[in-house]
């Protein structure tokens, strides 16, 4: 196990192979941090991200696992500790959307899968992070950052009300867990991205959605994953030492 400076961190990023997760991993790597990149199925993307983290000056490992599966979540944390010796921060980013439609047309299977990944998965990851980081449980403290969405307050009508509801649950978890862990050396915060140019739109059958909706954004453009990553890495770092239980909207004013 390599000895790391106290100023450098070990961070686990769920859904770290693409989009906001990838941008966060790269920025953390540029700071010299060690990054565990969790992925469910896209191994090539995760391994490519790990290579880029190393090229940026950090250390990295790719770890397969479905966040909706408890055993996979526990193993991801175990493998992070095995690779780097500890965990200082966790970015709970993995999430999915499904094709746009009103709630009346959604199947139970679709709704269940969205909530399994976006809510149950986030709770499992947050629970495991709490167990590993809390000082009262033998941890050294640290930081948890949730990736929520402005959809939680906009509702995403006629498109993704299931996704919006799942992110509303994340906002509530953020507030409650921050209060639970504040005395245990663990800060808990969230970012709420708006319309960001990532692959998630294509996964829901709308690859051009970010550009199509750009006129609705006060700043007149979609955001970039790197702009969200800047806020996440700040919240993970020591500069945000008095920030907990807060959400930062990265939405161009929307």
Predicted confidence at residue 216, as pLDDT, reads 83
With beta carbons less than 8 A apart as the criterion, state whether 61 and 47 touch: no
Q: How far apart are CA 224 and CA 196, in angstroms?
A: 5
Q: Which of 176, 173, 156 is nearest to 164 (CA)?
A: 156
- Residue 24 included in any domain: yes
- Residue 203 included in any domain: yes
CATH number of domain containing 228: 3.40.50.720
How many domains is the chain built from? Answer: 1
The string of pLDDT tens digits covering residues 227-241 is: 999 999 999 999 999
Q: How far apart are CA 229 and CA 120, in angstroms?
A: 23
Q: How far apart are CA 125 and CA 55, in angstroms?
A: 28
DSSP 109-151: HHHHHHHIIIIIHHHHHHHHHHHHH-GGGT---EEEEEE--TH
- Residue 3 included in any domain: no
- Tokens linked to 37: 């990149």
With beta carbons less than 8 A apart as the criterion, state whether 36 and 83 touch: yes
- Residue 1 included in any domain: no
Helix, strand and coil percent figures for the chain, each rounded to 5: 50, 15, 35
- Residue 15 included in any domain: yes
- Which residue range is the domain that position 212 belongs to? 10-250
Q: Which of 64, 16, 56, 23 is nearest to 37 (CA)?
A: 16
- Residue 82 included in any domain: yes
The string of pLDDT tens digits covering residues 74-86 is: 999 999 999 999 9
Through-space distance between the first and last CA atoms of the chain, rounded to whole angstroms: 45
Question: In this model, does residue 198 exceed pLDDT 90?
Answer: no
Q: How far apart are CA 24 and CA 136, in angstroms?
A: 29
Give the CA diameter of the chain: 55
pTM of the full structure: 0.93
pLDDT bin (cut points 50, 70, 90) of residue 200 is low
Angle, helices 161-181/121-133, rounded to nearest 10 degrees? 20
Show which residues are catalytic.
Answer: 163
DSSP state letter for 68: T
DSSP state letter for 221: S
CB count in 10 Å sphere of residue 109: 9
DSSP state letter for 116: I
The string of pLDDT tens digits covering residues 109-151 is: 999 999 999 999 999 999 999 999 999 999 999 999 999 999 9
Mean local confidence (pLDDT), 171-178: 98
φ, ψ (nearest 5 deg) of residue 160: -140, 55
- Residue 5 included in any domain: no
- Residue 4 included in any domain: no
């Amino acid at each position: 196990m390599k000895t790391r400076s106290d100023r450098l961190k070990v961070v686990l990023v769920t859904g770290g192979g693409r989009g906001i997760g990838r941008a966060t991993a790269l920025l953390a790597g540029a700071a010299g941090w060690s990054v565990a990149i969790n992925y469910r199925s896209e191994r090539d993307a995760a391994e490519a991200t790990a290579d880029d983290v190393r090229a940026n000056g950090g250390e990295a490992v790719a770890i397969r696992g479905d966040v909706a599966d408890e055993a996979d979540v526990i193993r991801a944390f175990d493998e992070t500790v095995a690779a780097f010796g500890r965990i200082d921060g966790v970015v709970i980013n993995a999430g999915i959307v499904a094709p746009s439609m009103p709630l009346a047309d959604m199947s139970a299977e679709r709704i269940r899968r969205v909530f399994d990944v976006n809510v149950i998965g986030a709770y499992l990851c947050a629970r495991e992070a709490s167990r590993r980081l809390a000082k009262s449980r033998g941890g050294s403290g640290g930081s948890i950052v949730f990736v929520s969405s402005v959809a939680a307050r906009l509702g995403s009508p006629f498109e993704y009300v299931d996704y919006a509801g799942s992110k509303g649950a994340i906002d509530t978890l953020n507030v409650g867990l921050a209060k639970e862990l504040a005395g245990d050396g663990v800060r808990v915060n969230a970012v709420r991205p708006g319309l960001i140019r990532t692959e998630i739109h294509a996964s829901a059958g709308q690859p051009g959605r970010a550009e199509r909706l750009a006129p609705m954004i006060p700043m007149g453009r979609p955001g970039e994953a790197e702009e969200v990553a800047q806020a996440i890495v700040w919240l993970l770092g020591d500069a945000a030492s008095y920030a907990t239980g807060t959400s930062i909207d990265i939405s161009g004013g929307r």
